[in-house]
Chains A and B, each alone.
Chain A
Amino acid sequence: DQQVKQNSPSLSVQEGRISILNCDYTNSMFDYFLWYKKYPAEGPTFLISISSIKDKNEDGRFTVFLNKSAKHLSLHIVPSQPGDSAVYFCAALDTPLVFGKGTRLSVIA
Chain B
Amino acid sequence: DAGVIQSPRHEVTEMGQEVTLRCKPISGHDYLFWYRQTMMRGLELLIYFNNNVPIDDSGMPEDRFSAKMPNASFSTLKIQPSEPRDSAVYFCASRVLGLGRNTEAFFGQGTRLTVV
State whether these chains interact.
yes
Give chain B interface residues in 5-58, CB to chain A under 8 Å: 31, 33, 35, 41-45, 48, 50, 55-56
Set B31, B91, B104, B112: member contacting A95, Cβ < 8 A: B31
- For residue B88, CB closer than 8 A to chain A, the reply is no
What range describes how many residues of A lie at the interface?
A: 20 to 34
Residues 61-90 of chain B, each 1 if its beta carbon lies under 8 Å from chain A, else 0: 000000000000000000000000000000
Residues of B within 8 A of A6 (CB): 42
Given A32-B102, A46-B104, A99 and B42 contact (CB-CB distance below 8 Å):
yes
Closest Cβ of chain A to B112, distance in Å, is: 8
Interface size on B, residues (CB 8 A): 25
Q: Chain B binding site: helix, strand, loop or mixed by DSSP?
A: strand
Give chain A interface residues in 40-99, CB to chain B under 8 Å: 41-46, 49, 51, 89, 93, 95-99
Q: Is B43's CB under 8 angstroms from A102's CB? A: yes
Q: Is B102's CB under 8 angstroms from A99's CB? A: no
- For residue B116, CB closer than 8 A to chain A, the reply is no
- For residue B109, CB closer than 8 A to chain A, the reply is yes
Closest to A51 in B: B102
The distance in angstroms between the C-alpha atoms of A6 and B41, with both chains bound, is 11
Q: Is A99's CB under 8 angstroms from B43's CB? A: yes
Closest Cβ of chain A to B106, distance in Å, is: 7
Set A46, A49, A98: member contacting B106, Cβ < 8 A: A46
> Which 7 A-B pairs have CB atoms at the shortest separation, nearest pair first?
A101-B42, A43-B107, A99-B43, A46-B104, A32-B102, A43-B109, A44-B107
Chain A residues in contact with chain B, CB under 8 A? Answer: 6, 32, 34, 36, 41-46, 49, 51, 89, 93, 95-102
Q: List 18 A-B contacts (CB under 8 A).
A: A36-B107, A41-B109, A43-B91, A43-B93, A43-B108, A44-B91, A44-B107, A46-B104, A51-B102, A89-B43, A95-B31, A95-B50, A96-B48, A97-B33, A99-B45, A100-B42, A101-B41, A101-B43
